[in-house]
Amino acid sequence: MGCEVCVKAGAYLDHELPAREREAYEAHLSTCAECAQELARLERLSRFLSAAGTPEFSRPQLSWNPVVKRQKLVRFAEALMAAAGLVMAVCGFCLLKSSAQPDSATVAGWERMALTQQAEAPPAPEPEDPIAQAVLRGQP
C-alpha cells in the first residue's frame, strides 16, 4: 500500500466518513488506482459475506436436569456428614475409654519391664573430637 488515503476505504464503504471527508475521498478515487482497487476488493468481500448469511445456532438440549442433580448432591453431602459424625463419635468414645488408668493386672509384662528399666547413659565423647569438646565446654 503506497497510498496513505487507502486506509479510509472501509470507512467510506460503511458510510462512516463525515460528508466533507467523503467528498474528498470520492475526488481522490478518480485519481488513485490503488484506492479504487482496494474499494472494489472490499465491495466484493462485503457482497460475498452478505450472500453467505449467518448460520443458525440452536441451543443444545440438556440431557440432565440441574434440579435433580443438585438434590442428589445434597443427599450425598448429607450422607458424608453423617458418616463423619459417626467416625467422630466412635473416636471420641475410644479416647474416653483409653484415658482411664489401666489396673496393674492388665499391664503387659513388657510394659512393666520398660517402665522399671532405667535408661543407659550415653557413651562419652571421644576427647579428640573438637566439636564434642566445644559442646562440653558450652561453646556454640
Q: What is the pTM of this model?
A: 0.39
**Amino acid type, 87:** V
pLDDT at 87 over 90: yes
For residues 6 and 38, is the Cβ–Cβ distance under 8 A?
yes
Of 16-20, 86-90, 114-118, the one with minimum mean pLDDT is 114-118
For 32, which DSSP code?
-
**pLDDT confidence tier of residue 119, bands split at 50, 70 and 90:** low
* 95-113 average pLDDT score: 65
Residue 98 has which C-alpha cell? Answer: 483409653
Q: How far apart are CA 126 and CA 96, in angstroms?
A: 49
Say if residues 8 and 17 touch (Cβ distance below 8 Å).
yes
